[in-house]
């Protein structure tokens, strides 16, 4: 009964506190703006990919029309872009754009989707530099700060709202002189704090989860209920951690200003300092090689390959004896010589980019190792995995694009070496790309680790709060 009275009293106090109502209103607007920003980004991505898909269709139709016109006795539109040449048809003229559709909950968490490419133009000349240099031109400030989406609001701003509502749930009673009266009733300090925080948790989590589900509805994300459940679990666990930490600090029996200072310090340490420190350390210990190094290596390899094309062609055929029998005997087979040079450049780039990939993997491993120091890092990882905008999904996309690029080369290179000519009949047989998305069990397995760690921090903070609140018997 007394707890019910506490809840009713909390409701009256919150309704009468205009400053608190203003804070809640501001956060509601922030949530709404973040959701609108995420939906706008998804719309931009979908429009970009629609143009890319239309481009694939238009290129095939244009090539088909030109090949048919040539077959009827016409001439190529350009002697340097004769579509009958497999090096032209398999090159930029006939390139196919491989696309990655937005993740199921991208509207909630933009994640890596504004930094990592979500489409690639694949041709016989696709190499490692294509994966490092491809992408949209983006505002560098947006890339540095990150897009203002729901994940940003949840990870960085939601704790501040929680702390503003919870820093004085017990100290305020003591300073107003009502704590002794409250504890004279058949209720413990732990029960009072629990009731007060439960009421605030309902408000805050209701706002956060309500806007999240609204975003899922607008973006059609309910087709992935497992991801929605993971998102809600991460948001709830993170919010409860900060409520529990506030309860722990209130149980220390200090003043409200002291509580506020300690809790804001904890937010600064766990949300800002530790993540920034981990990222800076990863960059210092495993610095990525300069992009200038890759460009220089590509230029040097190209110059060397041009001067040694015949030798490179012979070496290529030694490495691929199954293709040697189909090479055109005519020494003027320039397309074959050009391909040998291209292959040599690609091999050199693979050597350079392997260093980049190794150091990037080392950076990611270091961040994963020390993510347990910050609930913000754990929550962000879980939210991005749930949204389908984390590193894992983009790495999967790049891996499949690499496989598709190899398939594309395998289709055209034998014809290039044999000096064959293409006709319109070959177009329906061209390789096509289709992204195979990850299974939900893979997402759950990855998200289980940060969620379990976040749960462990929640239990730790809860145990500290219980121990401290048991010692509270009245004003000091």
Q: Where residue 475 falls among pLDDT bands split at 50, 70, 90?
A: very low
What is the pLDDT, as a whole number, of residue 294?
64
Q: Where residue 441 falls among pLDDT bands split at 50, 70, 90?
A: very high
**463/195: higher pLDDT:** 463
- Is the pLDDT assigned to residue 448 strictly greater than 90? yes
Centre a 10 Å sphere on the Cβ of residue 274 and count the other Cβ atoms it contains. Answer: 18
- Is the pLDDT assigned to residue 44 strictly greater than 90? yes
- Is the pLDDT assigned to residue 265 strictly greater than 90? yes
Q: Cβ(115)–Cβ(280) under 8 Å? A: no
d(CA 120, CA 95): 10
What is the pLDDT, as a whole number, of residue 139?
46
d(CA 174, CA 372): 35
What is the pLDDT, as a whole number, of residue 232?
96
Q: Where residue 333 falls among pLDDT bands split at 50, 70, 90?
A: low
d(CA 338, CA 440): 44
Which pLDDT tens digit goes with each residue over 272-331?
999 999 989 988 888 877 666 666 766 666 666 555 555 544 555 555 565 545 544 444
Inter-helix orientation angle 334-370/291-307, to 10°: 160
In Å, how far from its chain's centre is CA 186?
51
What is the pLDDT, as a whole number, of residue 283?
86
Which pLDDT tens digit goes with each residue over 227-261?
999 999 999 999 999 999 999 998 888 899 999 99
Taking residues 88-92, report their average pLDDT: 88
Q: Where residue 137 falls among pLDDT bands split at 50, 70, 90?
A: very low
Taking residues 194-203, report their average pLDDT: 86
- Is the pLDDT assigned to residue 476 strictly greater than 50? no
- Is the pLDDT assigned to residue 57 strictly greater than 90? yes
What residues are paired with 99 via a beta bridge?
Answer: 119
Q: Where residue 133 falls among pLDDT bands split at 50, 70, 90?
A: low
DSSP 8-state class, residue 50: H
Q: Where residue 140 falls among pLDDT bands split at 50, 70, 90?
A: very low
- Chain length of the chain: 476
Residue 287, phi then psi, degrees to nearest 5: -65, 140
What is the pLDDT, as a whole number, of residue 295?
67
Q: Where residue 332 falls among pLDDT bands split at 50, 70, 90?
A: very low
Residue 420: both structure tokens together: 């064959």
- Is the pLDDT assigned to residue 353 strictly greater than 80? no
Residue 188, phi then psi, degrees to nearest 5: -95, 165
Which pLDDT tens digit goes with each residue over 392-432?
999 999 999 999 999 999 999 888 888 788 888 999 999 99
d(CA 412, CA 417): 9
**55/355: higher pLDDT:** 55
Residue 254: both structure tokens together: 């200090």
User: CB burial class (10 A; 0-12, 13-18, 19+) of residue 467?
Assistant: exposed
**130/388: higher pLDDT:** 388
Q: Cβ(116)–Cβ(105) under 8 Å? A: no
Which pLDDT tens digit goes with each residue over 169-190?
888 777 776 666 666 666 677 7
Q: What percent of the chain has pLDDT over 70?
A: 80
What is the pLDDT, as a whole number, of residue 304?
63
Q: Where residue 144 falls among pLDDT bands split at 50, 70, 90?
A: very low
Ranking 12-26, 401-415, 439-453 by mean pLDDT, the lowest is 12-26
What is the pLDDT, as a whole number, of residue 436?
95
Q: What pTM was estimated for this model as a whole? A: 0.85
Ranking 115-129, 141-155, 318-332, 415-429 by mean pLDDT, the lowest is 318-332
What is the pLDDT, as a whole number, of residue 293?
67
Centre a 10 Å sphere on the Cβ of residue 458 and count the other Cβ atoms it contains. Answer: 21
Residue 246: both structure tokens together: 């506030």
């Amino acid at each position: 009964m007394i707890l019910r009275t506490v809840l009713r009293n909390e409701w009256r106090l919150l309704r009468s506190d205009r400053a608190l109502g203003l804070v809640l209103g501001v956060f509601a607007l922030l949530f709404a703006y973040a959701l609108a920003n995420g939906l706008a980004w998804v719309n931009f991505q979908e429009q970009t990919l629609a143009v890319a898909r239309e481009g694939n269709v238009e290129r095939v139709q244009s090539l088909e029309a030109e090949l048919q016109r040539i077959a009827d006795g016409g001439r190529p539109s350009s002697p340097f872009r004769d579509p009958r040449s497999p090096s032209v048809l398999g090159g930029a003229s006939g390139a196919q754009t491989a696309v990655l559709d937005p993740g199921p909950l991208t509207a909630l968490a933009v994640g890596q989707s504004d930094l990592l490419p979500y489409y690639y133009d694949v041709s016989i000349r696709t190499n490692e530099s294509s994966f490092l240099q491809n992408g949209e031109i983006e505002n560098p400030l947006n890339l540095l700060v990150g897009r203002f989406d729901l994940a940003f609001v949840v990870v960085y701003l939601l704790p501040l709202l929680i702390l503003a509502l919870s820093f004085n749930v017990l100290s305020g009673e003591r300073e107003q002189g009502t704590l002794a009266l409250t504890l004279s009733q058949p209720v413990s300090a732990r029960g009072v704090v629990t009731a007060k925080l439960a009421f605030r948790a309902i408000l805050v989590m209701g706002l956060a989860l309500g806007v999240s589900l609204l975003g899922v509805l607008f973006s059609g994300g309910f087709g992935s209920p497992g991801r929605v459940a993971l998102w809600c679990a991460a948001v709830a666990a993170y919010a409860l951690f900060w409520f529990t930490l506030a309860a722990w600090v209130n149980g220390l029996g200090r003043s409200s200003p002291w509580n506020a200072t300690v809790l804001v310090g904890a937010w600064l340490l766990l949300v800002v300092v530790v993540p920034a420190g981990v990222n800076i350390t990863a960059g210092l210990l495993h610095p990525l090689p300069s992009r200038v190094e890759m460009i220089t290596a590509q230029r040097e390899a190209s110059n060397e390959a041009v001067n040694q094309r015949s030798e490179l062609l012979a070496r290529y055929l030694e490495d691929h004896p199954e293709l040697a029998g189909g090479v055109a005997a005519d020494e003027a087979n320039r397309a074959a010589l050009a391909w040998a040079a291209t292959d040599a450049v690609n091999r050199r780039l693979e050597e350079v980019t392997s260093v980049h990939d190794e150091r990037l993997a080392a950076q990611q491993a270091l961040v994963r190792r020390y993510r347990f120091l910050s609930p913000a890092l754990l929550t962000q990882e879980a939210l991005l995995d749930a949204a389908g905008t984390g590193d894992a999904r983009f790495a999967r996309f790049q891996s499949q694009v690499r496989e598709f690029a190899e398939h594309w080369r395998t289709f055209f290179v034998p014809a290039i070496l044999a000096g064959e000519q293409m006709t319109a009949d070959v177009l329906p047989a061209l390789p096509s790309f289709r992204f195979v998305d990850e299974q939900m069990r893979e997402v759950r397995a990855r998200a289980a680790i940060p969620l379990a760690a976040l749960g462990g921090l929640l239990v730790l903070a809860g145990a500290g709060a219980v121990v401290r609140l048991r010692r509270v018997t009245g004003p000091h």
